Chains A and B, each alone.
Chain A
Amino acid sequence: MSIYLLIYFLIIVSAVLSVISKKLINSAIMLAVLSVGVSLLFFTYEAPWAGVFELSVCAGLITVIFISAVSLVKQDDEAFKENRVKYTIFPLILIIFAILSSIFVPDYFSKLSNFSIYLENQNEPVGKFIWLYRGVDIIGQLTLLSASVFVIKHIFKKKKTAEER
């Protein structure tokens, strides 16, 4: 049980640091640490496929996208003056929320977990779930992926000059 608490501690601390840090690049790096913590949690929950995807895509690809976007808008990030009080008081608000939720949340969810149905013999491999049981979702994913590619292509379309027309 202690390893779970340690990983959860890492996740919460990195999330809080990513919210309260002043520079956007630090926020993006702390988000990568958060993703690493979540993938460690997945590995300890015996979910290696989800852990590998989380580690490679969320901790790798999304961090690269964030850092490149932050570097593109860097000039405004330095000039952007925002009121820092709401970030500095955030740990205090989070502690109050944690105390309140420690009173109400565990009782409610221990009640809720009694309604779950424990399934026997669910030892089928992940590939069977992806390709057979949720095979239609692959079409949805491909549609979303192609839609996002078209959107990004149109966002960064070059304007034609008068000579090219």
Chain B
Amino acid sequence: MNTNFSVDWFFISILFFTGAYCMVVSRNIIRLLIGFEIISKSAMIAIITAGQLSNNINLAQTLIIIMILIEVIVVATGLALIVKFYNNYQTIDIRKLINLKG
């Protein structure tokens, strides 16, 4: 059993920074969703380590199952919107989204 909470959170912070950097610098909409995925993975690891710290791992597993479902919904809806946007405008540049008016 691993009890070194601070080492876990060191790696979680690195993973969070990776996803956040990807979301900040990228102009490609699919890369934004990939960054979102990486951030949500870091949040999942955070929940499971916090559950282990308080000896309440089963509740943490329940929360993670709920979180995975929400993640799938967000990714599926987001990618559907991207494909529809691509069909209309033939681009996946986030700055061209300014054309969506009204």
Contact = CB atoms under 8 A, between A and B. Distances in A.
A145 B73 CA distance: 7
Contact of A4 (B2, B22, B54, B68): B2
Interface string A137-165: 10001001101100110011000000000
A66 B7 CA distance: 32
Contacts of A38: 41, 44-45
A40 B48 CA distance: 12
Contacts of A44: 2
B56 to A, nearest CB: 5
Interface residues of B, number: 71
Interface in A62-121: 62, 65-66, 69-70, 72-73, 75-77, 80, 82, 86-87, 90, 93-94, 97-98, 101-102, 105-110, 113, 116-120
Interface in B2-18: 2, 4-11, 13-15, 17-18
A147 B56 CA distance: 32
Interface string B25-68: 11110110111011001001100111111111111111111101
A147 B74 CA distance: 11
Contact of B80 (A28, A76, A101, A156): A156
Interface residues of A, number: 80
22 contacts: A4-B8, A16-B18, A19-B38, A35-B41, A45-B48, A50-B48, A50-B64, A54-B68, A57-B68, A58-B41, A62-B75, A66-B34, A70-B30, A73-B92, A105-B6, A107-B6, A117-B54, A122-B58, A129-B62, A134-B63, A137-B66, A141-B66
A1 B4 contact: yes
A94 B18 contact: yes
A69 B77 CA distance: 11
Contacts, number: 217
B76 interface: yes
Contacts of B49: 45
B97 interface: no
A12 B18 contact: yes
A152 B79 CA distance: 10
Contacts of B34: 18-19, 27-28, 31, 66
